[in-house]
Chain A
Amino acid sequence: NAGVTQTPKFQVLKTGQSMTLQCAQDMNHEYMSWYRQDPGMGLRLIHYSVGAGITDQGEVPNGYNVSRSTTEDFPLRLLSAAPSQTSVYFCASSSFRRGGASYGYTFGSGTRLTVV
């Protein structure tokens, strides 16, 4: 099925461990983003990419790295996990029409991460 695939769905880490959250889309979308969702905080943008080889920071980038070597994949790396990174992480992708009107983002089903 076409869409955005995130793995894993659940993960428990110890403080200081590193890991990579995977995100892949098969819709040939140029734009991809990572968000975290916390109670009472809504969704906050971590990093985003406007195409292969191009990434930029969002609102809360500290402690996270990204790269975009292909159009399809946009992994999110936690360098040294902290309890404050306990959250639900969503990956999303989109394409835009010429002139900038958006078709709307497609979201993955999320990764629930707990750091103990």
Chain B
Amino acid sequence: GNSVTQMEGPVTLSEEAFLTINCTYTATGYPSLFWYVQYPGEGLQLLLKATKADDKGSNKGFEATYRKETTSFHLEKGSVQVSDSAVYFCALTDRGSTLGRLYFGRGTQLTVWP
């Protein structure tokens, strides 16, 4: 079946530190991969996506590369800011019979201190 596993938090960093949040997946088909961000009290916003192997999604200084060989989609940012404090969710949608369903990881809480 389809599933997403992401590193558990919370993650606490100082401003300008390097961020990595690990995400691995299991899929029966050929998935599209996403990172969503949820700021306190808000809904989920699409941060970046990749739809095929070796694609790199990027947005707001965040990057993630679709690695089919390691079934991974790790989120990175070179220099985090206090405003990046949020919960980050890795997710996938697959093709075929489960098309339309979005599978989430448990989420990783990131706190950035000034």
Contacts and interface: CB of A to CB of B under 8 A. Distances in A.
Point out which of A101, A104, A106 has the most chain B C-beta atoms below 10 A from its C-beta. Answer: A104
Interface string B82-114: 000000010001111001111011110000000
B69 interface: no
B52 A90 contact: no
Question: Size band of the A side of the interface?
Answer: 20 to 34
A107 interface: yes
A52 to B, nearest CB: 13
B3 to A, nearest CB: 11
Question: Size band of the B side of the interface?
Answer: 20 to 34
B32 interface: yes
A96 B34 contact: no
Contacts of B106: 40-42
Interface string B20-62: 0000000001101010100000111110010110000000000
Contacts of B51: 97, 101-102
B89 A109 contact: no
B49 A102 contact: yes
Contact of B44 (A30, A48, A107): A107
B89 A101 contact: no
A33 B43 contact: no
Point out which of A40, A96, A102 has the most chain B C-beta atoms below 10 A from its C-beta. Answer: A102
A92 to B, nearest CB: 7
Interface string A40-55: 1111010011100000
A90 B32 CA distance: 21
Interface of B: 29-30, 32, 34, 36, 42-46, 49, 51-52, 89, 93-96, 99-102, 104-107
Given A50-B100, A109-B43, 15 more contacts: A33-B102, A43-B104, A43-B107, A92-B44, A94-B93, A97-B51, A100-B96, A102-B49, A104-B34, A104-B49, A105-B93, A105-B102, A107-B36, A107-B43, A107-B44
